[in-house]
């Protein structure tokens, strides 16, 4: 069981300037687990930038990759929605929702799982920023353009 959190939730009146600032607000076992989380993310995403987003530590590639936050009984990990078919079995035994996983302080911290998830998020982030095909024009936009052209032709012919 983890001990010595100075504050039970990352959502408080204090605004954090950096991940160092966030980590320094905790002591003991919780601080050690926060440091393990940060190290695991850095190893899996060495080019990611550390930021504070939503008053939580976050790592950013082209977009935010993952967030995490210390809570009273667990470390919340927010890697955005993950496909169940890829990570479902790895996440058995952890409380989770669509975009969150809870790592209880009473269990060993799953460094390998965090690295696996972060590596996946890095790949998805890179794939999302590759050249995207041009957006197709909607039917209503085509109609508006056609109407404008007809109006322009009529006004020229009246001159």
φ/ψ region of 54 (left if φ > 0, alpha if ψ in -120 to 50, else beta) reads left
Residues 36-86 have pLDDT tens digits of 999 999 999 999 999 999 999 999 999 999 999 999 999 999 998 787 778
8 Å CB contact between 102 and 96: yes
pLDDT at 97 over 80: yes
**What token pair was written down for 93?**
């035994």
CATH of the domain at 46: 3.90.1150.200
Which residues constitute the domain of residue 153?
19-157
Q: How many domains are there within the chain?
A: 1
- What's the pLDDT at 2? 54
- Which residues make Cβ contacts (< 8 Å) with residue 107, sequence separation at least 6? 93
- The residue ranking higher by pLDDT, 30 or 159, is 30
- Give me the mean pLDDT over the 12-16 stretch: 80
14 domain-assigned: no
The overall average pLDDT reported for the chain is 84
pLDDT at 157 over 70: no
- What's the pLDDT at 38? 98
- pLDDT classification of 8: cutoffs 50, 70, 90: very low
Q: Where are the beta strands (DSSP E) in 42-150?
A: 49-53, 56-60, 64-70, 74-78, 95-97, 100-104
43 domain-assigned: yes
């Amino acid at each position: 069981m983890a001990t010595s959190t100075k504050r039970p939730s990352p959502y408080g009146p204090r605004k954090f300037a950096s991940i160092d600032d966030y980590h320094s607000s905790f002591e003991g076992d919780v601080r050690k687990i926060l440091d393990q989380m940060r190290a695991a993310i850095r190893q899996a995403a060495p080019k990611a930038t550390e930021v504070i987003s939503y008053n939580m530590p976050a790592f950013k590639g082209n977009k935010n990759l993952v967030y995490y936050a210390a809570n009273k009984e667990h470390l919340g990990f927010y890697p955005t929605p993950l496909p169940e078919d890829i990570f479902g079995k790895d996440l058995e035994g952890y409380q989770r929702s669509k975009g969150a996983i809870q790592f209880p302080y009473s269990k060993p911290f799953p460094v390998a799982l965090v690295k696996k998830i972060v590596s996946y998020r890095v790949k998805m982030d890179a794939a999302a920023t590759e050249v995207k095909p041009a957006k197709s024009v909607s039917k209503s936009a085509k109609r508006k353009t056609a109407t404008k052209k007809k109006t322009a032709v009529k006004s020229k012919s009246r001159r």
